[in-house]
Amino acid sequence: MQAPLIKVAEKAGFCFGVKRAVRMAYDAASSCSGPVYTLGPLIHNPQVVERLKGMGIDVCDNYEELPPGATVIIRSHGVPLEVLEFLRSRGVRIIDATCPFVKKAQDIVATLTNSEYHVVIVGDGNHPEVKALLSYGKGRASIFPHVPDGVLKLGVVSQTTQLLEKFIECIKWLIGHREFQEVRIYNTVCQSTAERQKECKRLAQEADLVIVVGGRNSAGAKKLWVVASEEVEAYHIEVAEELNPSWFLGKRVIGITAGASTPEWIISEVVEEVKRITGGKVDGRG
Amino acid sequence: MQAPLIKVAEKAGFCFGVKRAVRMAYDAASSCSGPVYTLGPLIHNPQVVERLKGMGIDVCDNYEELPPGATVIIRSHGVPLEVLEFLRSRGVRIIDATCPFVKKAQDIVATLTNSEYHVVIVGDGNHPEVKALLSYGKGRASIFPHVPDGVLKLGVVSQTTQLLEKFIECIKWLIGHREFQEVRIYNTVCQSTAERQKECKRLAQEADLVIVVGGRNSAGAKKLWVVASEEVEAYHIEVAEELNPSWFLGKRVIGITAGASTPEWIISEVVEEVKRITGGKVDGRG
């Protein structure tokens, strides 16, 4: 049997916002005096969170418990306005690693709701990014598909890691189901998310099997798995140890991609393990 | 055989903008010295145009031929910016009877294109309202579905007499087929047009036959006929003389509606003639 070809997505791994947040955390570890925390895990990747712990940066899950004088790193998803205000009032030092693209979406929600639009956020209401976005609406924002009755001026934004196709479907639904005078739609799907998803789709069309590497809780990784699964057999793993040799039987082209919160070293471990299991060769990067 | 019921739409006939334009023309006929013209027929109704002629208001089809010192009435559809500018430069007195709802759509096109949006107009490129709307975009507007490549900030407006459903379908198409950063949609479908169409649909669902009364060139009347035809047998006539007795055979409920440019007296003539042909009774108005 011929050894399979292993194709690693060019856009696999850390995005701009995650790279920036991780760099800010590393900087904080080396420069801050006093205790440093991230508010929730910095990124949806337990291995990175472990590394930070080793550098003295702990995860704090409840912002109300942060001691005055502590330093807290706001992760790339951002936090609700009221949390920021609470932390400021407590004299906690804030390092804001909110992704600039998420910040832009927050600004749009704030600007539109200040101008009498009601803003609908297309995203997962349980995701921290969406909870934060919602807070910037100060009561004049809601999660898709909910729109209060009587709203005639509507704004629409997306969770930055949303599937572009889903965002578009939701807009179409709103346009078709709501009376309106005016609708302002901002495509806040992060370009790198959209490109990563597009590349994943192409990869899945070329491959017999796709491995998506990413934290179990990573929305982005889950969505990559959805995109890949629509085309071909696909698995979502967190680390190389989860690879099951039986998946690779008879496969000739194996695609590997990773979410925006998956560090390079974990992707490399997966690629090496796939090479070891299959005897395959890496095409492209790697 | 039982005499049929004749249901006349409550919203049949002159809309706000047409009433206003006709009133302005009548006022001009009695108050202006010197020749008075309308630029094109004042409304899409030859009978009204005839009446105005009797009052000394002629139709001028070519604005370049208007003599200085003349008075010209701009009809409810509005005119392209360059025509207004030409008339002003020639010292022609202008009575602007552009419908305020059309004016609002013109203002939206101007404001959006001044703010670097490209505006797509959903409407009939040959209709005078749409030609005028387009002119306010000063080169940064186009007729649906055309959008220049590379446009990422998009505005969308509608011809005021557009079918709301069609406007919505066109928006959905744009959203699904164009990459964008931002889309600003203004529902410029005139409320009275939308209500008239909704009522026409209800009427067509209740009736065995619908008669739409309106000028042959009236876009609004044609669209009412489309709406009615989707539900039931329907005819578009201009005057009572066109009614064909064979249409009414075996019909128990007859609906009558009329476009926004159809004067009350023509609707009354049609209702009377339907009563005469069928022996039916009028339900509701009339």
- How much is the pLDDT for B53? 95
Closest CA to A43 of A258, A210, A195: A258
Distances (CA, A) of B15 to A270, B46, B175, B199: 69, 17, 32, 14
Mutate to test the interface with A, among B112, B158, B182 (most CBs of A within 10 A): B182
Enumerate the residues of chain B whose CB falls inside 8 A of the CB of residue A174: none
Domains and CATH numbers, chain A: 5-13+191-283 (3.40.1010.20), 16-98 (3.40.50.11270), 101-185 (3.40.1010.20)
Can you point out the beta strands (E) in B159-251?
Answer: 182-186, 209-213, 234-237
Q: What is d(CA B181, CA B163) in angstroms, rounded to the nearest whole number? A: 27
pLDDT band at B32 (very low <50, low <70, confident <90, very high): confident
Kindly report, residue by residue over B154-178, the tens digit of the pLDDT: 999 999 988 889 999 999 999 999 9
Burial B83-115 (b: 16+ CB within 10 A, else e): bbeebeeeebbebebbbebbebbbebbbebbee
Distance from CA of B270 to the nearest CA of A (A): 34
Active-site residues of A, by number, are 129
| Nearest CB partner across the interface for B180, out of A176, A181, A187 | A187
Mutate to test the interface with B, among A184, A189, A190, A191 (most CBs of B within 10 A): A184
CB contact under 8 A, B182 and A180: no
pLDDT band at B34 (very low <50, low <70, confident <90, very high): confident
Distance from CA of A165 to the nearest CA of B (A): 8
| Nearest CB partner across the interface for B183, out of A176, A181, A185 | A185
Closest-CA residue of A relative to B169 is A176
Question: What ipTM is given for this predicted complex?
Answer: 0.84
Which residue shows structure tokens 């929600």?
A109
Residues of chain A with pLDDT under 50: 286
Q: What is d(CA A20, CA A23) in angstroms, rounded to the nearest whole number? A: 5
Give the number of other Cβ atoms within 10 Å of residue A50's Cβ: 9
In this structure, chain A runs to a length of 286
* Strand duo B153-158 + B118-122: pairing: parallel
Structural contact between residues B264 and B1, judged by C-beta atoms closer than 8 angstroms: no
Q: What percent of chain B has pLDDT over 70?
A: 99
Sheet holding B36-39, edge to edge: B57-60, B36-39, B71-74, B93-96
Partners of B253 in the beta sheet?
Answer: B5
Enumerate the residues of chain A whose CB falls inside 8 A of the CB of residue B185: 175, 180, 182-185
Which residue shows structure tokens 């203002």?
B107
Q: What is d(CA B270, CA B243) in angstroms, rounded to the nearest whole number? A: 8
Q: What is d(CA B116, CA B151) in angstroms, rounded to the nearest whole number? A: 10
Q: What is d(CA B63, CA B75) in angstroms, rounded to the nearest whole number? A: 13
Mutate to test the interface with B, among A187, A191, A198 (most CBs of B within 10 A): A187
Write down the H helix ranges in chain A: 16-31, 46-54, 81-89, 100-114, 128-135, 164-177, 191-206, 219-229, 264-278
| CA gyration radius, chain A | 21
Kindly report, residue by residue over B54-65, the tens digit of the pLDDT: 999 999 999 999
Cis peptide before B145 (omega within 30 of 0): yes
- How much is the pLDDT for B285? 53
Query: Is B164 in CB contact (< 8 Å) with chain A?
Result: no
Kindly report, residue by residue over B107-156, the tens digit of the pLDDT: 999 999 999 999 999 999 999 999 999 999 999 999 999 999 999 999 99
- How much is the pLDDT for A218? 87
pTM: 0.86
Q: What is d(CA B203, CA A115) in angstroms, rounded to the nearest whole number? A: 39
Structural contact between residues A197 and A164, judged by C-beta atoms closer than 8 angstroms: yes
Average pLDDT (B166-194) is 94
CB contact under 8 A, B180 and A172: no
Average pLDDT (B187-211) is 94
The angle that helices B16-31 and B100-114 make with each other, rounded to 10 degrees, is 110
Distances (CA, A) of B229 to B13, B223, B224: 19, 10, 8
